């Protein structure tokens, strides 16, 4: 696919997404056979795809829009983007888990342009495995009549309230990977709504929302408030994309079913880190390249990549079984997490008490300081 210097923003977004999609398809065809890869190999394939697609997209933007800023999932956040009028928000590979699984088509490439005072003005979502690129300047929403609304949710993090919500509107719930794939399924008429409340970032939804809004679909936070992009902290935890006629019923149902306060962006980042202690999957953990970790005064991590590698492969994390009594205190740009940590030692479970201090000045954790103590004896 050739790129021309006179392309408008929407055409450029579409061509970029398409080119990155072609790259990802070629890589996947070379590395992924009919049988599932081992977990580590599948994760490595997804990360390689993320990196290579990101490099391609950044190179194309540097060539065609050198004055614009970029916010990418795969690049360190540059606060300078807050002072410019045009910012490209990109996710080189959305649905990385699905990308590493044979036969899955629910992964995507997201490219969106945010402009000051206007919001998302150009966007494209490529679904390479379907040979489709959806773009904001040409898209239209299709409607497929079905007896019950079909509500899509995250394959791995469905909202707790979605079951009762579906009952209220007489709908059915279906899981799917990739925010872009779910949003485009609503656009194509293959579903009627996409509801998410499990934590996301701006790059997860910017391009899907740009395309969906241009096609006339309803897009908002789950409380009905607008979706804002190029914010100082790019955490955007929840999302509703649906046919306009369903929006009022879905928003009213969500309001009735939820009453808890959502995590702040910084707390959400810390929660993701703590979750990786048990899951050994740090793909969503945001650590600065020079992040360090100190435990009881001893330096135990000297860089973000080193800490991520240890979270996923180090032997000391394998016996960890549960985090209990978790509380957060947030002050300024810092978060303190206090919790009990269970670990398996032979046939027994041992518990320690942790107080972890996280420095989160922006979109990445820059320092982790932990104090580990014996757990208090139960009364």
User: What's the pLDDT at 1?
Assistant: 38
The structural architecture, per CATH, of the domain 150-257 is: 3-Layer(aba) Sandwich (3.40)
pLDDT in tens, 276-333: 999 898 888 999 999 999 999 999 999 999 999 999 999 999 999 999 999 999 999 9
CATH topology of domain 265-374: Nuclear Transport Factor 2; Chain: A, (3.10.450)
Cβ proximity of 228 and 218 under 8 Å: no
User: What's the pLDDT at 268?
Assistant: 86
Question: Residue 95's closest CA among 133, 126, 52?
Answer: 126
> Residue 8 — φ and ψ, nearest 5°?
-75, 175
Q: What is the DSSP letter of 130?
A: G
A 10 A CB-CB count for 348 gives 7
Which segments of the chain belong to CATH 3.40.190.80? 150-257
pLDDT in tens, 96-149: 999 999 999 999 999 999 999 999 999 999 999 999 999 999 999 998 889 999
Say how far apart CA 277 and CA 319 lie, in whole Å.
Answer: 10
Cβ proximity of 370 and 353 under 8 Å: no
* SS3 assignment, position 221: coil
The pTM of this model reads 0.85
Q: For the chain (length 379 residues), average pLDDT per consecutive 10?
A: 64 97 96 86 93 97 96 93 97 94 95 96 97 95 92 92 95 96 97 93 97 96 93 92 95 85 82 92 90 96 95 92 94 96 90 96 94 81
Which segments of the chain belong to CATH 3.30.540.10? 9-135
Which segments of the chain belong to CATH 3.10.450.50? 265-374
Say how far apart CA 125 and CA 82 lie, in whole Å.
Answer: 24
Homologous superfamily of domain range 9-135: Fructose-1,6-Bisphosphatase, subunit A, domain 1 (3.30.540.10)
């Amino acid at each position: 696919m050739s790129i021309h210097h006179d392309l408008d923003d929407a055409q450029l977004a579409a061509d970029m997404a398409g080119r990155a999609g072609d790259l990802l398809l070629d890589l996947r065809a070379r590395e992924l056979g009919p049988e599932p890869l081992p977990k580590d190999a599948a994760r490595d394939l997804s990360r390689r795809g993320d990196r290579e697609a990101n490099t391609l997209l950044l190179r194309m933007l540097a060539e065609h829009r050198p004055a614009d800023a970029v916010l990418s999932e795969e690049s360190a956040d540059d606060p300078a983007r807050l002072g410019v009028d045009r910012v490209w928000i990109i996710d080189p590979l959305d649905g990385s888990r699905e990308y590493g699984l044979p036969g899955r088509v629910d992964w995507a490439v997201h490219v969106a342009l945010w402009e000051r005072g206007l919001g998302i003005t150009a966007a494209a979502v490529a679904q390479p495995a379907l040979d489709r690129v959806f773009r904001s300047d040409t898209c239209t929403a299709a409607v497929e009549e079905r007896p019950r609304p079909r509500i899509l949710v995250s394959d791995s993090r469905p909202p707790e309230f979605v079951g009762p919500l579906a009952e209220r509107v007489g709908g059915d719930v279906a899981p799917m990977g990739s925010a872009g794939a779910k949003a485009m399924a609503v656009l194509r008429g293959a579903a009627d709504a996409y509801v998410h409340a499990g934590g996301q970032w701006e790059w997860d939804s910017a391009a899907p929302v740009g395309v969906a809004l241009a096609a006339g679909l309803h897009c908002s936070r789950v409380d009905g408030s607008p979706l804002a992009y190029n914010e100082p902290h790019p955490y955007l935890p929840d999302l509703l994309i649906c046919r306009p006629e369903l929006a009022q019923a879905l928003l009213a149902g969500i309001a009735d079913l939820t009453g808890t306060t959502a995590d702040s962006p910084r707390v959400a980042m810390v929660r993701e880190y703590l979750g990786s202690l048990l899951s050994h999957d740090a793909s969503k953990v945001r650590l600065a390249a020079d992040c360090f970790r100190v435990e009881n005064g001893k330096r135990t991590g000297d860089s973000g990549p080193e800490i991520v590698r240890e979270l996923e492969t180090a032997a000391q994390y394998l016996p960890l079984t549960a985090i209990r009594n978790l509380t957060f205190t947030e002050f300024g740009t810092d978060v303190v997490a206090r919790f009990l940590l269970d670990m398996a030692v032979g046939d027994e479970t041992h518990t320690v008490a942790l107080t972890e201090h996280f420095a989160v000045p922006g979109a990445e954790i820059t320092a982790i300081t932990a104090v580990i103590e014996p757990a208090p004896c139960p009364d």
